[in-house]
Structure 1
Amino acid sequence: MKRLFLSIFTIAAGVSIYASEPWTVERCMQYASEHSHTVRQQQFALDDSRAIKTQAIGAFLPSVYGSTSVQINFGRAINPETNTYTDISTLYNGYGLQASLTVFDGLQRYNQLRMAKANVAMGRSGIMAEKDDVALKVYKAYMDLAYCLGAIDHTSKKRDESLALLHQTEVMAEVGQKSNADVAQMRATLAADEYELTHMQSQTIKARLALQQIMNFPADSTLYIVQPSFHTEPAVTENPAQISEYAAMTNPRIVKAQQAIEAARFNLRAARGALLPSLALSGGVSTSYYKNLNNGVHASFFSQFKNNTGEYVALSLSIPLFSQLSTSSTIRRRKIALSQARENLEYEQSE
């Protein structure tokens, strides 16, 4: 109990200290990229793509499965020993072990694996793109808050100046150098400055909450920021054409769109592979046990298990002739998906 209390106290103290420190915009962007819900959703999507990739790799491995069955016959049935009809009650127990391997399937598995790899790469780019989006949103919200804080400082100084001028005008009015109209004017100016200060304080609260929301910052803590300095402008050595060319090669959204085209292309090839014949190799071993329930005359279990053992090897060829337009519809849909991916790449490049 004491350890639990100390842990809770340490966490609470850590949150308080953590929240009271002034945060730079870089620290805010880093925190948001690590705690954003949308970034986490992209990470889950990447994990799902990795699981699909593992499944695509497993499709190249053979399928192995075992089976067993128990059958009791009453009345007319076939005697497994003599292969003739009998009317005695019998117990039949069978065991089997089978394995199958697809030798050729029109390169469907190969293209599905390449598509899965492209989806994994696309998931990584998606995380980077989402982190960039979150960072940009944080930067904007940070600058909005910085503007509001600066506006509060400026408005406070203006309100203090108006208050001093009002006091000066009232003194001058008492000695006859200013009129009551001048005093009323200064009071109106002071009231306008106080309203503007109150308004900016409200806007600051909204801006701070907006920044904390984007960052997924604890709601019970107050975020303090460092007022940025804009005295120096960063030097830009590249011309606009070079910047655009660099962005076209490295921007995560453009890279993700390119990878989406690659994945859609492999998906289309996999669909077309369903039009080709498929070849499968299979084999297995089976055995059985038979017992006469009426007189109990039968060989032992181990002797039947050994003597009834049989093996088989099969090679099957499947040629698709008609699939109720399912394959052609799938190919058409994946062609459309490929066109959509290309259109999305052009959109991202224009953006």
Structure 2
Amino acid sequence: QDYQHAVAGFLPTITGGVQGQYAWGRNIDPETNTYNNVTTFNNYYQLYAELNVFDGFATINALKQAKLSRDYSATAMQKIQDDRAIDVMQKYVDAAYAEESIRIASEKLNESKRMLDKMKRLYELGEKGRPDVVQMKSQVAEDEYNLTHQENVAKQSLLALKSAMNFPVDEELKIQIAEERNLKLTSDNEEAPESGVNYETVYQGFLHISPDLKSAEYEVERARYDYKIAKGRLLPSLS
């Protein structure tokens, strides 16, 4: 709407009007020397056209500013979409991490149960004391609690992911975790393999597509045009 208003500033201004006047009265007829009733009705038509010739470039700068505002609105919408995508991605990472934590907690619990069975056998053979068995039972109880806690965290993370995706809560949503194999780790003394990525190019590309940076640039440009428009209005105008 601001852009259309700025474009309209280049068009001529046309003003028109219609006026009617009705009057009645009496006058003397010079031939008969008698009074006559007289009624008159007059129409008036007006049409004015005005075209802005020079206004200190205020109209041109207003159009440029309106274009920036339109681009700023598009960038703001892109930022909302990007923030939504990042939020969904973060919720997915949280849910995937919670699912993997359940697997790790379950393996640890199974290992503690095996150690408890082994400790009981060693106790029966007289190689371990009662305190060792009690300590292992305590470890099993702790691992059971941790597994239950991780399951609750996974449920909450999954609900948060469904909410971010607008996914129906009563429908099943499964998290798939891709397994990365054949990973090569490097020590401090080893050089990492070349990735072939030009990080400066990636950074410059980010500067061109980042909605936050674009919005900041648009705000600076809009302020600059505000100054130009205000400065232009101090000059005499010609129309």
Q: Same fold (TM over 0.5)?
A: yes
Question: In structure 2, how many angstroms separate the alpha carbons of the residues matched to 1:204 and 1:109?
Answer: 58
The amino acid of 2:112's aligned partner reads: S
Q: CA deviation at 1:181?
A: 2.2
Q: CA deviation at 1:109?
A: 1.1
Residue in structure 1 matched with residue 109 of structure 2 by the alignment: 159
Closer, same or farther in 2 for the Cα pair 1:218/1:272, shift >3 Å? farther
The amino acid of 2:63's aligned partner reads: L
Question: In structure 2, how many angstroms separate the alpha carbons of the residues matched to 1:278 and 1:156?
Answer: 80
Aligned partner of 2:235 among 270, 276, 281: 276
Higher CA-based Rg: 2
Residue in structure 2 matched with residue 236 of structure 1 by the alignment: 195
Aligned partner of 2:4 among 54, 73, 87: 54
Indicate the SS of the match to 1:278.
Answer: coil
Indicate the SS of the match to 1:279.
Answer: coil
Residue in structure 1 matched with residue 50 of structure 2 by the alignment: 100
Question: In structure 2, how many angstroms separate the alpha carbons of the residues matched to 1:252 and 1:242?
Answer: 18
Q: CA deviation at 1:108?
A: 1.2
Question: In structure 1, how many angstroms separate the alpha carbons of the residues matched to 2:41 and 2:113?
Answer: 106
* 1:141-160 paired onto structure 2 within 5 Å: 141-160=91-110
Residue in structure 1 matched with residue 213 of structure 2 by the alignment: 254
Superposition RMSD in Å? 3.4
Closer, same or farther in 2 for the Cα pair 1:99/1:170, shift >3 Å? same
Q: CA deviation at 1:57?
A: 0.9
* 1:76-115 paired onto structure 2 within 5 Å: 96-115=46-65
Q: Which whole-Å deviations, capped at 9, do the CAs of 1:293-318 have from their partners, x for residues lacking one?
A: xxxxxxxxxxxxxxxxxxxxxxxxxx
Question: In structure 2, how many angstroms separate the alpha carbons of the residues matched to 1:72 and 1:225?
Answer: 85
Q: Is the 8 A contact 1:146 1:228 kept in 2?
A: no
With 195-204 and 167-176 compared, the bigger mean Cα shift is at 167-176
Closer, same or farther in 2 for the Cα pair 1:175/1:229, shift >3 Å? closer
Question: In structure 1, how many angstroms separate the alpha carbons of the residues matched to 2:18 and 2:200?
Answer: 70
Structure with more contact order per residue of length (Cα contacts < 8 Å, sep ≥ 6): 2
TM-score normalised by length of structure 2: 0.72
Question: In structure 2, how many angstroms separate the alpha carbons of the residues matched to 1:219 and 1:97?
Answer: 66
Q: Does 1:182 align with 2:132?
A: yes
The amino acid of 2:155's aligned partner reads: I
The amino acid of 1:157's aligned partner reads: E
Question: In structure 1, how many angstroms separate the alpha carbons of the residues matched to 2:238 and 2:72?
Answer: 32
Indicate the SS of the match to 1:277.
Answer: coil
5+ residue gaps in structure 1? 1-50, 76-87, 281-351
The amino acid of 2:236's aligned partner reads: P
Question: In structure 2, how many angstroms separate the alpha carbons of the residues matched to 1:73 and 1:181?
Answer: 121
5+ residue gaps in structure 2? 26-37, 185-192
The amino acid of 1:186's aligned partner reads: M
Q: CA deviation at 1:259?
A: 3.2
> % of aligned pairs identical?
33
Residue in structure 1 matched with residue 145 of structure 2 by the alignment: 195
Q: Is the 8 A contact 1:108 1:271 kept in 2?
A: yes
Residue in structure 1 matched with residue 72 of structure 2 by the alignment: 122
Question: In structure 2, how many angstroms separate the alpha carbons of the residues matched to 1:170 and 1:151?
Answer: 28
Closer, same or farther in 2 for the Cα pair 1:134/1:237, shift >3 Å? farther
Residue in structure 2 matched with residue 133 of structure 1 by the alignment: 83
Question: In structure 2, how many angstroms separate the alpha carbons of the residues matched to 1:94 and 1:171?
Answer: 117
Closer, same or farther in 2 for the Cα pair 1:181/1:90, shift >3 Å? farther
Question: In structure 2, how many angstroms separate the alpha carbons of the residues matched to 1:185 and 1:61?
Answer: 89
Indicate the SS of the match to 2:162.
Answer: helix
Q: Does 1:225 align with 2:184?
A: no
TM-score normalised by length of structure 1: 0.52
Question: In structure 2, how many angstroms separate the alpha carbons of the residues matched to 1:179 and 1:162?
Answer: 17
Q: Which whole-Å deviations, capped at 9, do the CAs of 1:224-282 have from their partners, x for residues lacking one?
A: 322134445896323544443443344343333333323322222111111112223xx
